[in-house]
Structure 1
């Protein structure tokens, strides 16, 4: 299993990482309607989703391997007068008791490891998520340009390569899946929606497309 490596947020120049994802509004409304209260923002980055869910009345715990990211979130939360519990930690060993959270969001996070690390992280998610709790997670597709051209990169295992296009992600592992992988790894969950594959393009050069799955599941 590869050692976890944090994003270097000090090199980030993209303000989009401060804007909640389009899915977060749906998630907040859906989870409120189900009486969910406590949410984990797993791999919170600079804190965009943590702030959003705290503003919408959730009790939020936020974790990230990046101390820079956690410090940014703490300053942001203080400015907005929001209470958010934060910790620097590795997703491979979450510092929470069993059955702690009603819901978890992991946006562009747990595919930053290899296959063994992905399985370990998913086990940690299952441990801290309550029965019938929900998980929204994004996973990077094997149809992404970088995986289709994996010979350009250092390969870790059949699903994992090290990429180096962006300074924030330099030498951070990327674990890729297809729909059959998703079915295999999420056998302990019920699918709320059919996983959707979405395409994004690099603004610098449109050939560098990235495809992600949005996965919405409920713990059995």
Structure 2
């Protein structure tokens, strides 16, 4: 019988995890049929990410992508000279991403694991990017998510996010509602105000709705998504 005694904060987190679906198998099934009409199955990078690369981020550095899916943004960054670590818990998604990287002849270090189990170099990344992962993070895991960003992002480095916009695609519910309903209802919706509150220890650079772009095309964009770019403030000298 599984030990159900609570001895630590981590035990509490695992207990709360158990009240929801097991994510790995679900996402494997999701990515197993590549012919599905899913907007982000296209092989094109986010339009806001392209804007950041062109206008904000400067010379290529190191990027960590959280919830990389089938690797469309990771491959884009690698093509532009960035050193890329890309993480997803779905074996099917990682396999697809590896195929795309091989076809593009670019190096991407894919990690098939839960992002909360990552063991990477601290303060190593110029950019941490999340396109579509954060709105699937359970509220009790949010503090661990924020700790991950603070631990791995360089001082002065950037954090970019694409997530469901409240009132458009994501579920409009409180954190407490998630536990009352035992469900994220497909993903939480966020407002600019809520994102600024959650990431208040980072400096907001810009936030806006993603541009809606025709697909297929060179860039991906859907207006039901919110985009934001933050920066980790360098310590005062």
Give the TM-score taking structure 2 as reference length. 0.72
User: Residues 199, 61 of structure 1: CA spacing in aligned structure 2 closer, same or farther, 3 A cutoff?
Assistant: closer
Deviation of the 1:135 alpha carbon:
0.9
Following TM superposition, where does structure 1 have runs of at least 4 consecutive aligned residues deviating by more than 3 angstroms? 157-163, 197-200
Written as runs of structure 1 = structure 2, the 5 A alignment for 1:14-163 is: 14=37, 16-17=40-41, 18-30=43-55, 33=58, 35-144=59-168, 147-148=171-172, 155-157=177-179, 161-163=183-185
Structure 2 residue matching 1:192: 3-state secondary structure: strand
User: Residues 216, 55 of structure 1: CA spacing in aligned structure 2 closer, same or farther, 3 A cutoff?
Assistant: same
Q: Aligned pair 1:5/2:23, yes or no?
A: yes
Q: Which has the higher helix share?
A: 2
Distance 1:159 1:199 in 2: 32
User: Residues 146, 51 of structure 1: CA spacing in aligned structure 2 closer, same or farther, 3 A cutoff?
Assistant: closer
5+ residue gaps, structure 2, are 1-15, 213-221
Which structure: larger Rg? 2
After superposition, the C-alpha distances for 1:81-136 in whole angstroms (9 at most, x for unaligned) are 21111111112232212101110111111111221122321221221111110011
Contact 2:171 2:184 in 1 (8 A): no
How many residues matched? 196
Distance 2:120 2:181 in 1: 29
User: Residues 126, 159 of structure 1: CA spacing in aligned structure 2 closer, same or farther, 3 A cutoff?
Assistant: farther
User: Residues 22, 74 of structure 1: CA spacing in aligned structure 2 closer, same or farther, 3 A cutoff?
Assistant: same
Q: Which has the higher strand share?
A: 1
User: Residues 146, 219 of structure 1: CA spacing in aligned structure 2 closer, same or farther, 3 A cutoff?
Assistant: closer
